[in-house]
Amino acid sequence: MIDRVKQKINELLSGGSVKGVVALANANGHVAPCLFQKGDDLQHLSLGDRETSGDARYPLNKVLTTIARQYPDEVFGVLVRGCDERGLHILFRLNQLAADKVVPIGISCPETLALQCECKKPWPDEMTAGEKSQGVAQKRVEAAEGLDLKERFSFWTEQFSKCIKCYGCRDICPMCFCKECSLECEDLVSKGDLPVDIPVFHLTRAMHMADRCIDCGLCEEACPADIPLRLLYKKTSKIMNTEFGFTSGMNKNEISPLSMMGPAPKK
Amino acid sequence: MDYRNTLTTCTYCGCGCNFFLESLDGRLTGTIPCKTSPVNEGKLCIKGWNVHQFVQSEKRLTKPLMRKNGELVEVSWDEALDFAASGLKAVKEGTGPDAVGFLASAKVTNEENYLMQKFARAGVGTNNIDHCARL
Amino acid sequence: MSELEDADTIFIIGSNTATSHPLVATRIFRAIEKGARVLVADPRKNQIAAFAHLYVRHRPGTDVALLNGMMKVILDQGLEDKAFIADNTEEFEGFKNLIHAVSLDEVSGITGVSVEDIQTLAETYAKADKASIVYCMGITQHTNGVNNVKSLANLAMLTGNIGKYATGVNPLRGQNNVQGACDMGGLPNVYTGYQPVTLGAANKKFAEAWGVSELPSKIGLTIPEMLHGIEKGEVKALWIMGENPVVSDPDANHVVKALEKLELLIVQDIFLTPTARLAHLVLPGVSFAEKDGTFSNTERRVTRVRKAVAPVGDSRQDWQIIQDISSRFGYKMEYDSPETIFKEIASLTPSYGGMTYERLEGPGLQWPCPSPEHPGTPFLHKDGKFTRGKGLFHAIGYKPPAELTDEEYPFCMTTGRVYAHYHTGTMTRNSKSLDFEVPEGFLEMNPADAEALDLCDGHRVRMASRRGEIETRIMITERVEKGVVFMPFHFEESNVNKLTNPAYDPIAKIPEFKVCAVKLEKVS
Ligand code: SF4
Ligand code: SF4
Ligand code: SF4
Ligand code: SF4
């Protein structure tokens, strides 16, 4: 698969159709986000699989956003998995990136990763390499829904109490880009103290991400308190799906129901 | 266009988390925790996540300062280094090596701490070197 | 650190882990998830205490009393590990006699912890299969800090919880490269790798390597001793690199007076700190993001620091500054990079002997790593073995802190950190996100005390000790007990170290930051 990706990156760079490609590279015994430009050695290219598949994934769309902000007229390639492609759809719609300035290089995820992510669609529509594996059912959410209200309440209260307010869930998130972050709004969340306001801090973020979270799971992996954040956001996204038939990023041109006024559209 | 991620170690606490300092054209733009580091496994605390912010602060010292007529004024490196060397020499020769003290630091690298204690011991000739680890 | 995840009981004493060592807290939370029991003893109820099987709030400075009480329970109930004691330790008898004389009722009176809680602490810890102890500055920053640490070692040895996987007594280092500064000989009594300056062989080895005919073999001065030396006119020049003692050291007014007495004060730093403002010469070094080198973390892991951006302005590499001054002073240094310096370190330091920059790629190496093939040492003291033969029990009686409250100074003040700041705030307070989180200092106070003083949340108070006074805003919270107040030490404009007591531990020379007597007054 990696050879196919290298070939594609080479084509893009040498053909001059992109200024650079945002992907991953092996360096210093680790894997890091990297911008490949014309003439760079692709030997160090990595797809983010080290010991297990996808264990060295990074928010490449976020990296791309940082670079594109500085170079708005250039075109860039970016390595995307299914979730990242969903992310691009939303970033285009919310004007964080320009669709005509981005060339996605899509790769599919293997079954192991799809199972671990409980991913609905572990492949991008525009696929450069790999084969589609099955979408996976949301068992974690179902299990959590199986708890009675009291158990659920104490489960989440206990989980949230571990939070050390690192803001890592926000800082790693490829879909977080607000200039004024609602987590820093003192009318919602008080600052300067630990533990954070429970459950306001975490639910504020869950609400805020309801039509944006593309379920990449990076937040949960970055949480030093091991809070099952992805589960929380999966549940939020399930509500969006049942109530509005909306799954964020799944459909390229779909507009978020939360950005429309008036009653919910008929199912 | 120069976008880089430089792998390094946190300067704040003894956990020693590893992360990438993200820079674009020589400006630090962010911190990304290293997921494959056994120390922090892709996680950081609030200090680590924001560690890039102080580095290029306006308030950084950019020139040597020397006290002249009671005021700290900018001087050249040459003047500063000569002043330091001759000042230390004068104290050593006037009162003895043990009249000089050194404070190394838990905030600088091993190499720099090593060099300072080497200078204290082999250069000046005193074991008066300590650091703020006790604090 | 990951070892902690597998402990089945973790006793945390004098460490606000979630705030000061967040990534260690991660491991503790994981252990809890796996079913471990956590015991927390701290004068201030910290975040992890909420997850504890038992949290006890002992009075500041009464750690030894509490630990002796626990050990009394263990001996009374026969919960000690007799085989381990017989095989691996010495001087048990003297220790046992001291503990036998301890009265639990007295301990309870001293510490403010009920006899029942002391029993639960002791039983839970002693009955665990793999019990780890975690401590931090809440244990060491006392006039009897060394005794506190020895008492923890007693407790671990008594129950055989040492020298095995997921057990032991684990100190959490305060600052990032404390380990490295110590490893590198930034101490008055040792060269790199703890080779004593007084030892003929080490002394000779270093003299030869450094190309000098002899090296001083008299142990040098510690920081408090240097300050004292300045006052007596014996120390006349001081070169401070990257430290800010005016904010970080106890009895700040006294530190300022001492520094002002110096004939030559050189401060090398990246910001104009309150200490730098007193200097005759300020040398702009560079931050960690602008330099190459290595740090050693709290688990003895050495990892690389790499230059990410060019230094600001005319600032210079710290190693180059030292090299240039040394050469001009008359002791020539000619390194071309930090890597050359590291090679020299490895050649002179057995525990770093097998390390090279190349080998430090990836996860780094934990010392001891004596040879090029050696994989490094993740766990010290394997198989119940101690580095120097057998473990020694120490009979340690309780001694009260150096300064007690009285009618004039009725409150007991203790100091610590907040999650968004580090040390003297030099770096964190220049970071906009961190400054946003916690922009100013504050004093935590129990609601009952606040009421008695007619104070509401956010009111300002004047707080004075025998050494100085400051003003600050108060935060009312039950985290501290009646009669105890807590203040973080990161803020130079409300520098709590103007009040703290410089009395220090006779062996470790660590000052008593954690206990001092103060009085409070409302500012109208
Ligand atoms: S969520 Fe996981 S499985 Fe799905 S596309 Fe992303 S990385 Fe692949
Ligand atoms: S899973 Fe987490 S990191 Fe990924 S988009 Fe959703 S909130 Fe952001
Ligand atoms: S990543 Fe986890 S600990 Fe950090 S702020 Fe988010 S929920 Fe809290
Ligand atoms: S990121 Fe936080 S926990 Fe990690 S080393 Fe830095 S200060 Fe310590």
In angstroms, the separation between the Cα of residue A194 and the nearest Cα of chain C is 7
Question: SS3 sequence, C80-134?
Answer: CCHHHHHHHEECHHHHHHHHHCCCHHHHHHHHCCCHHHHHHHHHHHHHCCCEEEE
pLDDT of residue B135: 45
**Which CATH superfamily includes the segment(s) C2-172?**
Dimethylsulfoxide Reductase, domain 2 (3.40.228.10)
Domains of chain B: 3-56 (2.20.25.90), 61-95 (no CATH), 96-135 (no CATH)
In angstroms, the separation between the Cα of residue B42 and the nearest Cα of chain C is 11
Identify the residues whose C-beta falls under 6 Å from ligand 4: B 10, 12-13, 15-17, 40, 44-45, 47-48; C 22-23
Rounded to an integer, what distance in angstroms lies between the CA atom of residue C6 and that of residue A172?
A: 28
Q: Specify which residues C443 forms β-bridges with.
A: C474
What 8-state DSSP symbol labels residue C53? S
Residues of chain C within CATH 3.40.228.10 domain(s) are: 2-172
Rounded to two decimals, what is the model's pTM? 0.87
Does domain C178-220+285-372 fall into CATH 4.10.80.40? no
Can you spell out the DSSP letters for C448-504? HHHHHTT--TT-EEEEE-SS-EEEEEEEE-TTB-TTEEEEES--GGG-GGGTSEEEE
Sign for the CA dihedral angle at C257, C258, C261, C263 comes to negative
* Nearest ligand for residue A211 CA: 2
**Cβ contacts of residue C129 below 8 Å, gap of 6+?**
C8
CA of C218 to the centre of ligand 2 (A): 59
pLDDT of residue C387: 52
Question: SS3 sequence, C459-471?
Answer: CEEEEECCCCEEE
Give the count of beta carbons closer than 10 Å to the beta carbon of residue C9: 24
Q: What percent of chain C has pLDDT over 70?
A: 89
Give partners of C (≥3 CB pairs < 8 A): A, B
Rounded to an integer, what distance in angstroms lies between the CA atom of residue B49 and that of residue C427?
A: 13
* A46-103: pLDDT as tens digits: 999 988 889 999 999 999 999 999 999 999 999 999 999 999 999 998 888 989 999 9
- From the number of C-beta atoms within 10 Å of its C-beta (0-12, 13-18, 19+), residue C101 rates as exposed
Rounded to an integer, what distance in angstroms lies between the CA atom of residue A62 and that of residue A177?
A: 9
The answer to whether A165 contacts chain B (CB < 8 Å) is yes
Rounded to an integer, what distance in angstroms lies between the CA atom of residue C241 and that of residue C513?
A: 22
* C459-507: pLDDT as tens digits: 888 888 888 888 888 888 888 888 888 887 776 666 767 767 666 666 6
Atom of ligand 4 nearest to the CA of B44: 1
Does A130 sit in the ligand 1 pocket, CB within 6 Å?
Answer: no
**Cβ pair C154, C38 in contact under 8 A:** no
Sign for the CA dihedral angle at A114, A117, A118, A122 comes to negative
Closest in B5, B24, B42 to A70, CB measured: B24
* C158-203: pLDDT as tens digits: 888 887 778 877 777 656 677 878 888 888 888 988 888 888 888 8
Query: Cα-flanking dihedrals φ and ψ of residue C441, to 5°?
Result: -70, 160
* C191-245: pLDDT as tens digits: 988 888 888 888 899 999 999 988 998 999 988 889 889 999 999 999 999 888 8
Q: What kind and span of H or E run contains C156?
A: helix C145-158
* Nearest ligand for residue C172 CA: 4
Residues C103, C105, C111, CA angle at the centre, nearest 5°?
Answer: 100
Determine which of C418, C419, C490 to mutate to test the interface with A (most A C-beta atoms within 10 Å).
C419
* CATH of range C411-522; options 3.30.1360.170, 1.10.290.10, 2.40.40.20, 3.40.50.12780: 2.40.40.20
Residues of chain C positioned with their CB less than 8 A from the CB of B24: none
Rounded to an integer, what distance in angstroms lies between the CA atom of residue C327 and that of residue C320?
A: 10
How would residue C420 be classed by pLDDT, with cut points 50, 70 and 90?
A: low
**Plot region of A84 (φ>0 → left; ψ -120 to 50 → alpha; else → beta):** alpha
Nearest Cα to Cα of residue C228 among B89, B105, B91, B130? B130
Closest in C182, C230, C280 to B133, CB measured: C182
pLDDT of residue C509: 62
Rounded to an integer, what distance in angstroms lies between the CA atom of residue B88 and that of residue B92?
A: 6
Residues of chain C within CATH 2.40.40.20 domain(s) are: 411-522
* Nearest ligand for residue A210 CA: 2
Helix A149-161, helix A200-208: angle, nearest 10: 100
Residue C356 pLDDT > 90, yes or no?
yes
- Interface of chain B toward chain A, CB-CB under 8 angstroms: 1, 3, 5, 7, 18, 20, 22, 24-25, 29-37, 40, 42-46, 48-49
Amino acid at C309: V
Residues of chain C within CATH 3.40.50.740 domain(s) are: 178-220+285-372
Residues of chain C positioned with their CB less than 8 A from the CB of B109: 177, 180, 288, 291, 293-295, 305, 318-319, 338
| 3-state SS assignment for residue B127 | coil
| 3-state SS assignment for residue C221 | coil
In angstroms, the separation between the Cα of residue A92 and the nearest Cα of chain C is 28
- A165 contacts C26? CB cut-off 8 A: no
